[in-house]
């Protein structure tokens, strides 16, 4: 497959930075997966061990379900689990995305507990591997089981990640990259006891030191076109993954927070996708949503005038 448009994009410095930073976050997520799954199993066991009511091993028999993001009327079993989540939440008075949770699974599925500490939109994720870096970092930050982790280092990376994913031009400066790299390295160094994190660290180091428009990481020397083809194919795949995550979040977030969607940002995002033939085709559904939103906003803007 020819990737002419992607190769052209790799000549734009800001976009190349955006892509590299996104790649690093994908590796952070991979580095954390096994550790998170393991720790959530331990956390689940600990919660049960310290709560005599939960030790009876009862499950919900009343079909308790969160309504949108609220979880109010609950049976005694679900209520007990909900209290435990609040007890272990570092910000129990902040927004808790109950809509992520399937309460009837709390007694048996450790990952169902993790979801109460994540941004919304994770209802159908059943293990760490299916979640993105932001979700895992939020669990590290919001669940007090991870009190042994330096929270300042985690929030630093969450902050960078949000800036990256909310950039409607999909561009970040070299200066931003410097700050991002520093935050990432500090967190990775702090988590060096996680073996998979060390592997991720190596890949991140390679990515940050390579010039993507000339080379593809993971290949010492490009022997022939075949290797190059494989690399550009995988680059194209994670580009799609990252763009999807960013567009989804930019469209969802505004709606969710009740903030008026920023028309200018939306138009920038629109222009970006339209400006690349391959992306325009690939993100047709997203473009449709953007166009509908823009039209709605334009209408209400005209009414106000």
Given the rule CB under 5 A, which residues bind Zn ion? 60, 62, 64, 75, 78
Closest to 115 measured CA to CA, from 127, 107, 157, 246: 127
CB nearer to Zn ion: pick between 23 and 81: 81
CB nearer to Zn ion: pick between 102 and 127: 102
CB nearer to Zn ion: pick between 87 and 159: 87
CB nearer to Zn ion: pick between 61 and 264: 61
Rounded to 10 degrees, what is the CA torsion of 197, 202, 203, 207? 130
How many CB atoms within 10 Å of residue 287? Answer: 18
What phi and psi, each to the nearest 5 degrees, are found at residue 210?
Answer: -100, 150
As measured in angstroms, the least distance from the Cβ of 66 to Zn ion is: 11
Query: What does the alpha-carbon distance between residue 198 and residue 200 come to, in Å, rounded to a whole number?
Result: 5
As measured in angstroms, the least distance from the Cβ of 56 to Zn ion is: 14
How many CB atoms within 10 Å of residue 153? Answer: 18
Residue 130: both structure tokens together: 């299916």
As measured in angstroms, the least distance from the Cβ of 8 to Zn ion is: 54
CB nearer to Zn ion: pick between 75 and 105: 75
As measured in angstroms, the least distance from the Cβ of 106 to Zn ion is: 9
As measured in angstroms, the least distance from the Cβ of 67 to Zn ion is: 13
Give rounded-to-5 percent helix, strand, coil for the chain.
70, 0, 30
Closest to 97 measured CA to CA, from 129, 126, 133, 68: 68
């Amino acid at each position: 497959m020819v990737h002419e448009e992607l190769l052209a994009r790799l000549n734009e410095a800001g976009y190349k930075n955006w892509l590299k930073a996104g790649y690093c976050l994908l590796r952070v997520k991979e580095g954390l997966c096994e550790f998170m799954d393991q720790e959530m199993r331990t956390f689940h066991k600990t919660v049960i061990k310290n709560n005599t009511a939960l030790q009876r091993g009862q499950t919900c028999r009343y079909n308790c379900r969160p309504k949108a993001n609220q979880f109010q009327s609950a049976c005694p079993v679900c209520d007990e689990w909900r209290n435990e989540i609040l007890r272990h939440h570092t910000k129990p008075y902040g927004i808790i995305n109950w809509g992520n949770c399937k309460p009837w699974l709390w007694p048996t599925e450790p990952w169902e507990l993790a979801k109460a500490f994540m941004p919304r939109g994770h209802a159908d994720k059943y293990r760490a591997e299916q979640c993105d870096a932001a979700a895992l970092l939020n669990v590290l930050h919001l669940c007090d089981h991870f009190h042994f982790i330096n929270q300042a280092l985690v929030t630093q990376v969450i902050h960078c990640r949000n800036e990256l994913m909310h950039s409607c031009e999909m561009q970040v400066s070299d200066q931003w990259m410097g700050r991002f790299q520093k935050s990432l390295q500090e967190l990775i160094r702090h988590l060096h006891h996680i073996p998979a994190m060390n592997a991720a660290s190596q890949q991140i180091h390679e990515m940050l030191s390579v010039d993507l428009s000339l080379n593809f990481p993971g290949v010492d020397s490009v022997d022939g076109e075949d290797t190059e083809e494989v690399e550009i194919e995988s680059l194209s795949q994670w580009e799609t993954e990252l763009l999807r995550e960013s567009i989804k979040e930019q469209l969802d977030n505004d709606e969710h927070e009740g903030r008026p969607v920023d028309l200018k940002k939306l138009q920038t995002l629109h222009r970006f996708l339209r400006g690349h033939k391959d992306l325009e085709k690939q993100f047709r559904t997203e473009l449709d949503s953007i166009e509908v939103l823009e039209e709605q906003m334009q209408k209400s803007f005209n009414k106000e005038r």
